[in-house]
A and B are shown apart, each in its own frame.
Chain A
């Protein structure tokens, strides 16, 4: 039974077929269901057909949100202009901005984790509190967040911060602790000062692992971003999904979901390639 053999090497063709098989099966199952449901009920909106999806994608990409004030001259615009005024692009920009704020705020968290791991006073001061803070389920304190930060951008970014940064801080802390103490000692004997050791010996070593940890946390980050946008917002990818859910606009929801998946995949890929390029000596990624 070669399928269960560890030492087999499937050939190129087999690899290609096998790795795409589940995609093909999923698409076939979807198309079959869509066709079956439309035979029963031609107006079905739960499982849109390919044609409906296509129309949905076109509408989302090219047309502005119907509730918006119409632009002055929407007729004479080029395709690119129409795309840039379309709701998909505007929603993507709005969500991307919040995503980048959230991502940017993870870097101070990394520094805090590093300092906690290396400077005992920092560690003593923060560790217990952050261990506690880490266990707070961010979604459960939403009403408090709204009261404290309003319902505009700040509360959404804070939701991401509360949800994701404790994990990053603690992970960086643990990575810092795992650097062999001999290296720290060696650094000192070679004449390094405290900050040289912290940034040039320890941080430099753990950085690729920290980047990996951030990559793993992209999904929770998106999750909190979506939760925030679904609860109170005027634009954004999750805002649109929440609105369309109210009348089963699956022909746009499904393209949106796939679009988000694609974007997230690209961000992840970029970070992975960047990590490889910056740290060619690192072999775990």
Chain B
């Protein structure tokens, strides 16, 4: 009796295997960040599975460290990934991987900050050491801060110390001879608690420049069987269902937020504190408005100029136009035959119209 049941189970399993294998499978990679942690919740709560089933596909949600997630995306090991607009430009786009941003999730609104001690300001930073992770949004923020304080010509006189984010907080807090640091939350919160440290500039002063996106490889979206489109739709649907839960009023919201915070071993108060300096685009309409606004182009140009000036688009890239961006209105910044990063509004629009 027992063995017959086992046989039956095995046959069912074998019968189900080819069925499962026929479903197109996709992987979305994310890393710990206040605006991306919802992916953890989407996978855990079954929201992602629900949407994947609706479109007849399989979606795997995989957590990475940030840099490896970008490398996996560039190496085409994963189909979608959460990253900032800057990395979307200087990692996949600059490496020739045509990339499409399907969701504009949020922008940093204070998450990134320039912190100093002893009352140091931008005016007396030149000649001093500055701890930061070089060639990231930290350096972008620092240079924007210098430029906005009329110190653009002095940028190269600040001695940058490339410091890994895993040790930057300890290094700055312990060594009081270092007077300035640029980093992001939750490290910013940690460092701010040190007496005598002031926040002299942060990303809320450059709103909408550091965008957090969900990007998909364009060749995946264009797969002839249409499965890539389904993947993008399912992903967008799951994303905005989760956003709805996060922004709802009522006691249930805290439970959702606590579950999301769990994704980075964080507590609910700490996660809420990080959310307060993140401008989440909870509704597809808000995201759509930002993505299609004229300021968006100006801001992307600022980011691209930074990437180009620092050689992040590749040493062999002679002109900024060689890595072109296509905006939702169809306009292209750069050479039209070298479009590498596309902002696609179709999915956010479908979500806002309830058509997913």
Contact = CB atoms under 8 A, between A and B. Distances in A.
B135 A43 contact: no
B167 A146 contact: yes
A147 B75 contact: no
Interface stretch (A44-52, A195-203, A256-264): A44-52
Name, among A67, A231, A246, the residue most crowded by chain B CB atoms within 10 Å (CB to CB).
Answer: A246
A143 B174 CA distance: 9
B178 interface: yes
Most chain-A Cβ atoms within 10 A of its Cβ — which of B160, B163, B313?
B163
B349 interface: no
B134 A243 contact: yes
Contacts of A117: none
B156 A151 contact: no
Contacts of A150: 171, 174-175, 177
Identify which of A41, A151, A232, A249 gathers the most chain B CB atoms within 10 Å of its CB. A151
A247 interface: yes
> Interface size for chain A: under 10, 10 to 19, 20 to 34, or 35 or more residues?
35 or more
B157 interface: yes
Nearest to A68: B156
Interface string A29-69: 00000000000011111100000100110010000001111
B136 A231 contact: no
Given A43-B96, A232-B162, A247 B171 contact: no
Given A67-B156, A243-B134, A232 B164 contact: yes
A165 interface: no
A239 B162 contact: yes
Interface string B139-157: 0000000000000000011
A232 B311 contact: no
A234 B175 contact: no
Interface in B75-97: 75, 90-91, 94-97
A254 interface: no
B171 A232 contact: yes
Interface of B: 67, 71, 74-75, 90-91, 94-97, 131, 134-136, 156-157, 159-164, 166-168, 170-171, 174-175, 177-178, 310-316, 340
8 tightest A-B contacts by CB? A43-B96, A147-B174, A232-B163, A45-B95, A41-B96, A231-B164, A143-B170, A150-B175
Given A147-B174, A242-B164, 13 more contacts: A43-B95, A45-B96, A59-B315, A66-B310, A147-B170, A150-B175, A151-B175, A151-B178, A231-B163, A232-B161, A234-B160, A243-B134, A249-B315
